[in-house]
Structure 1
Amino acid sequence: MRSTKKILDASRLLFNQKSFSSVTIRMIAESLKMSSGNLNYHFKKREEILESLYFEMSSEFEQRLVDFPEMEFSMNQLKVEIKLTMRRMIDYQFFWTDLYNIINSNENIRTHFHEVYSSRYKSYMLLFKGLRKNKIIKASIFKWEFQNLSEQMILNNNTWLYSIALYGGRINESIIEEKANTMISILYPYLTLKGKIEFNEIISSNDFPQLIS
């Protein structure tokens, strides 16, 4: 078990540094000062390591979805949750920066990723219900508004790391803050006065102008 964990950790670091497609079994073995044969005892091929890392990552995200109904429904807590998710995604950034290729080359990952979408969507709908109950966001005018908003939040969450890699940006705390603020700003047109006050309390004036007095 210990050797398996060491292999997964070393593989994840290499995938993050070089991308999944650029890393070979031999490279992983060399990083661990292990023979390829010894590594093959634990994982027969690179795709098995990929799947193990994906489901390792997913198990943590899925637990957070289970705990989601217990969270405090406020703008501050929402930002805390978004940043926690972002930091965890950085640990597995190779997956998110090559999302399209990975899910389309591995059937098990693709199937599970699509199944999880439904849980993520329901969590966002629950979030909006909790924020409405706490008078932070307004009721929607059209039935489909919060459905579309859920899809926007999921899409933004899936692609923020890819967008940084695409334009050669560097991942640091400043970027995490900026991207979290951008995601939260999607909600701004739906905020009540109470929601806007909470929004201004969690958004630095250096990032956005104060939107209400």
Structure 2
Amino acid sequence: MKNRRTNILSVSRKLFNKQGFSNVTIRMIAQELRISSGNLNYHFKRREDILEALYFEMVSEFDSRVKQLDEREITFKTVKEDIKLSMQKMVEYQFFWTDLYNLLQLNNKIKLHFEKIYENRFKGYQFLFSTLIEKQYLQSFEFINESQFLIERMIGFSNTWIYNSHLYQKEINQNYIELQSNNLLFMIYPYLTNLGKIEYKKLIPDCFV
């Protein structure tokens, strides 16, 4: 029973990624699985139920990493590793990120959780910034909303980089993920101290040749 449910989610995710959520029907998923629509309905009554299951499958890893933030040493290297892991996980569920706004309107449970995740991500960046300031890698912000604006830009980029990749028909491979992780991390570069810039350049030396 558990294996059947897992197979349904796996096949659905692949179809959604290839054709888009709105273009895939329960019948198409059942045909791909070589089962009847009624058999599939035993596990998921609606296509939106599959969407909900896939969403919470995806965010379970994100949630656990946020909770472990204060257990890891914060360095530019570990931050970049975490960014790349998040991006790789997003690629596995890219259908969600390429149609983010519309899919959030389909399921209130997903929408509420996504809003809650935003709060957690915001707090995660605040923790990161305070740690970098303590290490004397990051300058103190000049006005109260400066860090908030930076965090909002970084979260906005995180939410939309896959959408932009599809919009401009970019191939998403490991090199591209490396580039996009650098682009996100570069947002904090203007705010670094001289010491922070020295440490930062050790992480991405090729960008400063």
Q: What is the TM-score with the length of structure 2 in the denominator? A: 0.96
Residues 8-28 of structure 1: per-residue CA shift (max 9 Å, x gap): 011011111111111111111
Equivalences for residues 51-200 of structure 1 within 5 A: 51-200=52-201
Task: Summarize deviations over 1:134-158 as a string: whole Å, max 9, x none.
Answer: 1111111112111111111111110
Measured against aligned partners, the alpha-carbon deviations of 1:32-60 in whole angstroms (never above 9, x if no partner) come to 11111110110111000000001111111
Spell out structure 1 runs of 4+ moving beyond 3 A: none
Alpha-carbon distance, 1:209 to partner? 3.0
Deviation at 1:121, TM superposition (A): 0.5
Greater CA drift, 106-115 or 95-104:
106-115
Deviation at 1:204, TM superposition (A): 4.6
CA distance in 1, matches of 2:70, 2:29: 40
SS in 1 for 2:161: helix
Q: 1:24 to 1:204 in 2, by over 3 A?
A: farther
- Judge conservation of contact 2:48–2:106 (CA < 8 Å) in 1: no
* Residues 76-119 of structure 1: CA deviation (Å, up to 9, x unaligned): 11111100110011111100011011012222211111121111
Shift of 1:71: 2.1
Give 1:74 deviation, angstroms: 1.3
Encode CA deviations 1:161-187: one digit per residue, 9 max, x unaligned: 011011111100111011011001100
> Partner residue of 1:209?
208
The alignment partner of 1:73 has SS state of coil
| Helix, strand or coil at the partner of 1:137 | coil
Between Structure 1 and Structure 2, which shows a larger proportion of helix residues? Answer: 2
The residue type paired with residue 88 of structure 2 is R
Query: What root-mean-square deviation, in Å, do the aligned CA atoms of Structure 1 and Structure 2 show?
Result: 1.1
**Structure 2 CA distance, aligned partners of 1:76 and 1:125?**
18
Counterpart residue type for residue 29 of structure 1:
A
Q: What are the ranges of 5 or more consecutive residues in structure 1 without an aligned counterpart? A: none
TM (norm. structure 1) is 0.94
Aligned amino acid, residue 168 of structure 2: Y
Q: Secondary structure at the match of 2:61?
A: helix
d(CA) in 2 for partners of 1:69, 1:166: 36
Cα distance in 2 between the residues matched to 1:170 and 1:28: 26
Work out whether residues 139 and 192 of structure 2, in 8 Å CA contact, stay in contact via their aligned partners in 1: yes
What is the alpha-carbon distance in structure 2 between the residues aligned to residue 164 and residue 104 of structure 1?
23
- What number of residue pairs does the alignment pair up? 208
Q: Percent identity?
A: 47
